């Protein structure tokens, strides 16, 4: 199988949320995590769920400032929580979009992030 350190988990919306939770709690070091329009589930408990193997995983978190489904206050709070967990390994961006779908630029940035995680 593929070694965990060659795997980047990623997703959009609920998939991004699941990628964050599954990735941070996974017991083997991952290459990275990508979340577009996701959020942190179990915010008050997330820090306790983080496995040491992924406490400093590279994580890309993108959010829409006008997303009507996953609101900016929720994603902003999630971004701040993730910064407290992975520190400088977080790359976070707020994109001006008013829909619940990724913008082309977000997909390009996510693709570049994945390429950096998997040289």
- Which pLDDT value is given to residue 119? 87
- Which pLDDT value is given to residue 7? 99
CB atoms within 10 A of CB 39: 22
- Which pLDDT value is given to residue 100? 96
Contact between 56 and 28 under an 8 Å Cβ cutoff? The reply is no
> Which residues of the chain fall short of a pLDDT of 70?
none
Instruction: Please tell me the distance from the alpha carbon of residue 92 to that of residue 78, in angstroms, as a whole number.
Output: 10
φ/ψ of 104, rounded to 5, equals: -55, -40
pTM of the model: 0.96
What is the CATH architecture of 4-117? 3-Layer(aba) Sandwich (3.40)
Contact between 76 and 46 under an 8 Å Cβ cutoff? The reply is no
Instruction: Please tell me the distance from the alpha carbon of residue 67 to that of residue 96, in angstroms, as a whole number.
Output: 9
Instruction: Please tell me the distance from the alpha carbon of residue 103 to that of residue 18, in angstroms, as a whole number.
Output: 20
- Which pLDDT value is given to residue 42? 94
Residue tagged 């994945």 (tokens):
114
Catalytic residues: 13, 67, 100
């Amino acid at each position: 199988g593929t070694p965990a350190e060659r795997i980047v988990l990623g997703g959009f919306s609920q998939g991004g949320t699941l990628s964050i939770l599954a990735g941070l709690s996974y017991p083997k070091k991952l290459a990275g995590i990508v979340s577009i329009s996701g959020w942190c589930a179990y915010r008050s408990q997330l820090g306790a769920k983080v496995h040491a193997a992924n406490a400093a995983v590279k994580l890309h978190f993108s959010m829409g400032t006008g997303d009507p489904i996953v609101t900016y206050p929720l994603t902003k709070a999630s971004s701040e929580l993730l910064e407290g967990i992975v520190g400088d390994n977080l790359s976070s961006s707020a994109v001006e979009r008013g829909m619940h779908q990724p913008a082309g630029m977000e997909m390009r940035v996510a693709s570049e992030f994945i390429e950096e995680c998997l040289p």
